[in-house]
Amino acid sequence: MKKSNLQTLNQDAVVLVIQPQAAFALGQEALARLQDGSVSDVYERRRILRKKISAFCNKFNIEHKDEILAPFREDRESEMEVVLKTNMPVPAIIKEMEQEFGPMLVGVGYGKLHAYSSSNVDMCDGPAFWDAREIINTKKEQAMQAEKQK
């Protein structure tokens, strides 16, 4: 049996869950176009964006390795998650990402983590994650409602 490297983090942390609005819009466009099967161009644009997101995450992780508790990682939906020390300038990070990707959907959580892995943000969990996830999910719902009203 593989030994888990999960632990409780005995310090406060900042959790960022971020998705470029362009990635969210591409996902919505792909869902809308599934009915007629014309999604190949959407998938290509999404592949290019995901490559750019991955490069950003890798660069950020290298440049800020001393301030990161669990490194930036991109998931299937082109969301990025990271656990940072509380001294990180979150507004500056978001501004840097907006310069790279345009407008962002952002969820920020602050506090403790019940489960923590310094090497895998996917294994982290706790109130800071729950807050960040709730915020970004609310923003996605709002974006979908706004799109429906157009």
Which residues have C-beta within 8 Å of that of residue 123, sequence separation ≥ 6? 6, 70, 115, 116, 117
DSSP per position, 60-78: HHHHTTTTEEEEEEE-TTS
Question: Residue 62 pLDDT > 90, yes or no?
Answer: yes
Q: What is the pLDDT of residues 63-89, one digit of tens each?
A: 999 988 888 888 767 788 898 988 889
Please count the CA atoms within 13 angstroms of the CA of 75 that sit on its side-chain side. 13
Q: Give the whole-angstrom CA distance, residue 53 versus residue 3.
A: 31
- Contacts of 60-64 with CB under 8 Å at 24 or more apart are 64/88
The domain tally of the chain equals 1
Domain encompassing residue 139: 7-148
Which residue did the predictor score with more confidence, 60 or 75? 60
Residue 116, domain member (yes or no): yes
Residue 98, domain member (yes or no): yes
CATH number at residue 39: 3.30.70.1230
Residue 2, domain member (yes or no): no
In what helix (H) or strand (E) does residue 48 lie, and over which residues does it extend?
Answer: helix 40-63
Question: Residue 90 pLDDT > 80, yes or no?
Answer: yes
Q: Give the whole-angstrom CA distance, residue 38 versus residue 42.
A: 8
Cα 127–Cα 87–Cα 85 angle in degrees, nearest 5: 45
Task: Give the per-residue pLDDT at 8.
Answer: 65
Segment 8-37 mean pLDDT: 81
How, if at all, do strands 68-74 and 7-20 pair?
unpaired
Residue 1, domain member (yes or no): no
Question: Residue 6 pLDDT > 60, yes or no?
Answer: no
Residue 118, domain member (yes or no): yes
